[in-house]
């Protein structure tokens, strides 16, 4: 009889723990979302010295396609360097800069296209911010397409090179600021796989 009670007790406690932990998870997520939206907010109304330091090229602060590009190249470099943690961080960064992209100066068709690109890109960037490196690379492939399509509308201040690796996922391209090939899909495994496919001015 005593045994039965103990077993019952253990089962009940297990249930309790399950409930408590599941609630905790939910809360944590909420907090994350809040801080993220706060960060977005901060970013949209001011300059951030920290952000500037990380920029690989001179964007005009936030809301600008150049800052999306610089975040993209930083992310690409992290993947070239097989750096999963850094890529996670930069995935969150580019999600933010895409979200802040100011599209008001474009025509209606361009606005619609950009909106579409942004929505898609933010989703892939967010996935990059929470995935292992293989997944990051899968999402980076589509993100690269989004960024390339964005550049077709917004233009670029400096010359970009579209590079192509025939081996990754049936052939995959990405953008780089240098002619020299450094493959973000394979990293150190096959650093120089690929070729320059197109120059974008």
Partner 1 sequence: MKILKLIAIIALVALAGIQFVPAERNQNYTVPSTDFMLVNTVPEAIQNKLQVSCYDCHSNNTQYPWYNKVQPVAWLLEEHIKEGKAELNFNEWDSLSNRRKKSKLRSIIKQIESGEMPMDSYTIIHRDATFSETEKQEIIQYITQLKDSL
Site residues for partner 1 per CB under 8 A = 5-6, 8-9, 12-13, 15-16, 18-19, 22, 25-26, 116-117, 119-120, 123-124, 138, 142, 146, 149
169 vs 180, which CB is nearer to partner 1? 169
| CB of 151 vs partner 1, minimal distance in Å | 15
Query: Quick check: 151 and 114 in contact, CB under 8 A?
Result: no
Give the tokens for residue 169: 């996922």
142 vs 196, which CB is nearer to partner 1? 142
Sheet containing 195-200, strands listed edge to edge, beginning at the edge strand earlier in sequence: 172-176, 160-165, 195-200
92 vs 191, which CB is nearer to partner 1? 92
5 vs 105, which CB is nearer to partner 1? 5
25 vs 50, which CB is nearer to partner 1? 25
| CB of 194 vs partner 1, minimal distance in Å | 20
| CB of 46 vs partner 1, minimal distance in Å | 30
| CB of 60 vs partner 1, minimal distance in Å | 27
Maximal CA-CA distance, the chain: 82
| CB of 72 vs partner 1, minimal distance in Å | 17
DSSP state of 104: T
d(CA 148, CA 144): 6
Residues near 73 by beta carbon (within 8 Å), at least 6 away in sequence: 56, 57, 175, 176, 177
User: How far is C-alpha 152 from the geometric centre of its chain's CA atoms?
Assistant: 20
42 vs 169, which CB is nearer to partner 1? 169
| CB of 119 vs partner 1, minimal distance in Å | 7
Give exposure, 84-108, as e/b (b: 16+ Cβ within 10 Å). beebbbbbbbbbbbbbbbebeeeee
């Amino acid at each position: 009889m005593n045994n039965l009670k103990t077993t019952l007790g253990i089962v009940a406690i297990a249930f309790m723990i399950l409930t408590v932990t599941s609630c905790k998870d939910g809360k944590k997520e909420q907090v994350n979302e809040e801080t993220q939206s706060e960060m977005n907010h901060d970013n949209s109304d001011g300059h951030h010295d920290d952000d500037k330091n990380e920029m690989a090229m001179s964007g005009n602060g936030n809301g600008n396609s150049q800052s999306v590009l610089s975040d993209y190249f930083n992310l690409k470099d992290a993947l070239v360097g097989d750096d999963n943690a850094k890529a996670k961080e930069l995935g969150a960064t580019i999600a933010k800069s895409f979200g802040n992209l100011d599209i008001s100066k474009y025509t209606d068709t361009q606005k619609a296209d950009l909106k579409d690109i942004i929505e898609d890109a933010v989703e892939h960037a967010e996935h990059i911010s929470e995935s292992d490196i293989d997944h990051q690379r899968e999402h980076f492939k589509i993100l690269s397409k989004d960024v390339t399509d964005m550049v077709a509308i917004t233009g670029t201040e400096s010359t970009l090179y579209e590079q192509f690796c025939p081996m990754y996922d049936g052939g995959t391209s990405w953008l780089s600021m240098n002619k020299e090939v450094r493959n973000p899909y394979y990293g150190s495994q096959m650093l120089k796989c690929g070729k320059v496919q197109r120059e974008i001015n």
